[in-house]
Amino acid sequence: MTRAGSDELEASRAAQAGADFEWHFGRVTSLGTIGITDSRTVTILWEEGGISSQQGEITDEQWEILKLAFVSTGRIAILSDQQDKNWMYDYRFLEAVRW
């Protein structure tokens, strides 16, 4: 990587993850917790079309990233190798983004 630009950074991370990984971008539209079940919820509107809502199974690290995105630009990026629409729920490589 010769420059610290976003395109170069994306290419570098994708190369490290493997050839089958793709970037997906979205906007966090809601965050919450459900007291009865003590679980976290997130709703994301995806640039590629569609909306996802997840309840539970959100780690502390993922929750912090989602909260950071929600209180700033709302934008997130995920890097996933999942097929069909399964990538919408793959938070292994999750980032808050500014642009």
CATH of the domain at 89: 2.40.50
Quick one: which of 26, 18, 58 has its CA closest to 45? 26
Lookup: tokens for 63? 């929750």
Residue at 2 is within a domain: no
Lookup: tokens for 23? 């970037």
Residue at 13 is within a domain: no
**Full pLDDT tens readout for the chain, 99 residues:** 444 455 666 666 656 656 689 999 999 999 999 999 889 999 999 999 999 999 999 999 999 999 999 999 999 999 999 999 999 999 999 999 987
Considering its fold, how many domains does the chain have in total? 1
Residue at 29 is within a domain: yes
**Range(s) of the domain holding residue 42:** 20-96
Residue at 56 is within a domain: yes
Lookup: tokens for 70? 């929600």
Quick one: which of 59, 65, 92, 95 has its CA closest to 77? 95
Burial class (CB in 10 A: 0-12, 13-18, 19+), 17: middle
Give the global pTM.
0.80
Residue at 69 is within a domain: yes
Residue at 7 is within a domain: no
Residue at 12 is within a domain: no
